[in-house]
Amino acid sequence: MLPHILTGHKMKLYEFFNLRGQLDKKTDTVLGVAGFVALLSVWIIITHFNMVPPKILPSPFKVLMVLGELHTKDALVRNTFYSVSLNFLGYLEAIILSLLIGFPMALFPCVRSLFCRYINAFRFIPIPATTGIFIAWFGIYSPMKVHFLAFGIMVYLIPTIIQRIEEVDKIYDQTALTLGSSMWQRIFHVFIPGALSKLSDDIRVLTAISWTYIIVVEMINAQGGIGVLYWLANRQVRVEKVFAILAVIMLIGVIQDRIFQRLDKMFFKHKYL
């Protein structure tokens, strides 16, 4: 009996420390909750014993309490929805334009030679420095902000699309050629499905970039938004407000990530078999 118990424990330890291994869902959830509790406990201990000045790190209880003030005095819900709507429209524009630009560049050598090296160079542009150009082109209202956020995603997403199409196994394309498929059949039945199944994960990761620029773009002709609330909290030296707003953004990010994962499972079921 004892050898069986020891073997079971060894298997559990192997699962925990197996490189790139997978834990069962229940264990993963328990460890996730334990990790959150551990981090929260460390935060409470540090702030309770004043190991760090409150002006630098507020207690989690103050951060939680200030959410009420943000809701009643700063219209947190309305401003959050404004930021989410800007980001959503930016995601949509970035994904559509990136697919329309990236696929021809990856599929046709002539288009790739004409534009690929310049598109790749866009990755090195400091995105906040382009705000003046976007103001000159699109004005200072919400459409400009959407285009700016979309551009911030596109400079990384287009090269990723090109890479994913190049990674499609040549054996599938050769098989389609052998079966007498036309160019358009190869594009729609080989390259698009082969690239999109991997690209869905890239889109989920890269769309989060727009939250990096939300403060920059919302401060232009400030019409509201969670980025404006963050800037005002910093200006007022309300550190607990800053942490609360960051927590809200993280929560939105987690929800967004879950939605993307659900959509991925809905449209690419074969990845999860």
Q: Which two tokens stand for residue 39?
A: 């981090």
* Mean pLDDT for all residues in the chain: 87
Inform me whether the pLDDT recorded for 271 exceeds 80. no
Q: How many domains does the chain have?
A: 2
Last residue of a domain, one of 51, 75, 90: 51
Q: Same structural domain for residues 75 and 40?
A: no
Q: Which two tokens stand for residue 215?
A: 């403060």
Tell which residue, 148, 255, 259, 257, has the closest CA to residue 210: 148
Specify the pLDDT at position 2. Answer: 40
Give the structural domain span for 178: 63-272
Consecutive H or E run containing 16? helix 2-17
**pTM for the full model?**
0.85
Specify the pLDDT at position 5. Answer: 44
Candidate from 68-77, 137-146, 201-210 with smallest mean pLDDT:
201-210
Angle at CA of residue 252, ends 70 and 241, nearest 5°: 25
169 pLDDT band (50/70/90 cuts)? confident
Q: Same structural domain for residues 76 and 194?
A: yes
- Residue 56, domain member (yes or no): no
Q: Same structural domain for residues 15 and 76?
A: no
Inform me whether the pLDDT recorded for 273 exceeds 50. yes
Q: Which two tokens stand for residue 255?
A: 């929800």
Q: Same structural domain for residues 111 and 239?
A: yes
Specify the pLDDT at position 21. Answer: 67
Inform me whether the pLDDT recorded for 4 exceeds 80. no
The pLDDT tens digits of the residues spanning 76-89 come to 999 999 999 999 99
Q: What is the CATH number of the domain that holds 112?
A: 1.10.3720.10
- Residue 58, domain member (yes or no): no
Higher pLDDT, 19 or 272: 272
| 83-108 average pLDDT score | 93
Inform me whether the pLDDT recorded for 1 exceeds 50. no
